[in-house]
Amino acid sequence: MYGLESIKRLAQSVWMAARGTVDDVLYERIPPSFLIIGTQKGGTNSLFTYLANHPQVLPSTEKEVNFFNSDGRYARGTKFYHTYFPHKTPQFANKLTFEGTPAYLRRADKVASRIYDYNPAMKLIALLRNPIDRAFSAWQMYRRYYQQNSNWFFDWMEQFESELPKDMFVRRTTDFGENFEQDIRNELELFERDQMTEMPILDGGHYFRQLQHFVRLFEKQQILIMQSERFFSETLSELQRVEAFLTLNPHSWSHDQLKPQFGGGYENEMSEFARCLLGEFYQRENALLYGLIGTDYNWS
């Protein structure tokens, strides 16, 4: 016998499924008018959460849709992509919707043209964090994943139907995550031999190489580039920049709405030698970035 609560939950599930089917028949989906394209570990989760609270904005059902960077998902077409966005019901008809996939910036060589083909008027937001700190933060995250599942990187590739062959990645040593400096040295050695390691960290900070693909296709006024450090320290004023960029009405952001979304929880500190090593590695790339965007972040 089913209890009353079980019957209620079943009825609610049936109603929600029926409502979804009706909405699919009566209303089209609202396609995204802007995308958060990166960078990983640059504050995209926070920005996504904040914008989802704006009264003129509706988020995608998942933050990271991974559509334009995945050959498998991209091949399913825009009808599949649009299932991640709300229906254009009367109460939502004038709202903007969006998603935020940091991998879009990292796979810019392929993603930029795909987004342009989808919508040449698309607006793009990129958060750029000091690549040295970004690398250390990514390493902290990756080692946590690795401790939980040493095969997580390849499982992730399969989940998002990556077309990249697994054998193109050199496996990390089994002691990965014990020493940041050594792990970076190992990756640098492979980088110099034009090889790629699993759980790649260094390439994520090559912002000039990534952004140039978008700059070549999209108008300057369609791309908002934000410094992550400033976004973290001056959140309200940076959100006001985003509102102006998206032509949104100014929102009265509450203190609760602007709470940090992720504290990291990392206890390790980067050695000065590792910082100098990465500073030298990213020096030329940073200089090219500053020239591209016309702003010197003075990262070191």
CATH number for the domain that contains residue 257: 3.40.50.300
For residue 155, being part of any structural domain is answered with no
pLDDT level of residue 269 (50, 70, 90 thresholds)? confident
Average pLDDT estimate for 84-101: 94
Q: How sure is the predictor about 12, in pLDDT bands with cuts at 50, 70 and 90?
A: low
Question: Is 60 exceeded by the pLDDT of residue 199?
Answer: yes
Residue 7: which pLDDT band, with cuts at 50, 70 and 90? Answer: low
**Confidence at residue 15, expressed as pLDDT on a 0 to 100 scale:** 46
Q: pLDDT value at position 1?
A: 46
Model confidence at 254, pLDDT cuts 50, 70, 90, reads confident
Does residue 3 sit within a domain? no
Whole-angstrom distance, CA of residue 239 vs CA of residue 230? 11
- What is the mean pLDDT of the segment spanning 35-53? 96
Q: Quick check: 23 pLDDT over 80?
A: no
Mean pLDDT, rounded, for 205-231: 97
Kindly state whether residue 177 falls inside one of the protein's structural domains. Answer: no
Strand-strand pairing, 96-100 and 34-38: parallel
Is residue 146 in a domain?
no
At 150 the pLDDT is 94
Residue 13 has pLDDT above 60, yes or no: no
Q: What is the DSSP string of 61-109?
A: SSS----TT-HHHHTT-HHHHHTTS-B--GGGTT-EEEEE-THHHHTHH
d(CA 68, CA 50): 23
Instruction: Report the C-alpha gap between 172 and 40 in whole angstroms.
Output: 20
Any domain includes 59:
yes
Q: Which own/partner pairs from 151-156 qualify as long-range (CB within 8 Å, at least 24 positions apart)?
A: 153/198, 153/199, 154/198
What is the C-alpha to C-alpha distance for residues 49 and 266, in angstroms, rounded to an integer?
Answer: 22
Looking up tokens 């704006």, which residue turns up? Answer: 54
73 belongs to a structural domain: yes
Q: Residue 20 has what pLDDT?
A: 52
Q: Is pLDDT above 80 for 125?
A: yes
**8 Å CB contact between 44 and 262:** no
18 pLDDT above the threshold of 50: no
Please check the confidence at residue 3 and state whether its pLDDT lies above 60.
Answer: no
Q: Which domain holds residue 285?
A: 21-137+204-293
pLDDT in tens, 132-172: 999 999 999 999 999 999 999 999 888 877 777 788 899 99
pTM: 0.89
Cis peptide bond prior to 197, omega within 30° of 0 = no
- Residue 57 within a domain: yes
Query: pLDDT band for position 22 (50/70/90)?
Result: low
Please give the tally of structural domains in the chain.
1
Q: 107, 98, 110, 85: which is closest to 40 by C-alpha?
A: 107
- Predicted confidence (pLDDT) at residue 265 exceeds the cutoff of 80: no
142: in domain? no
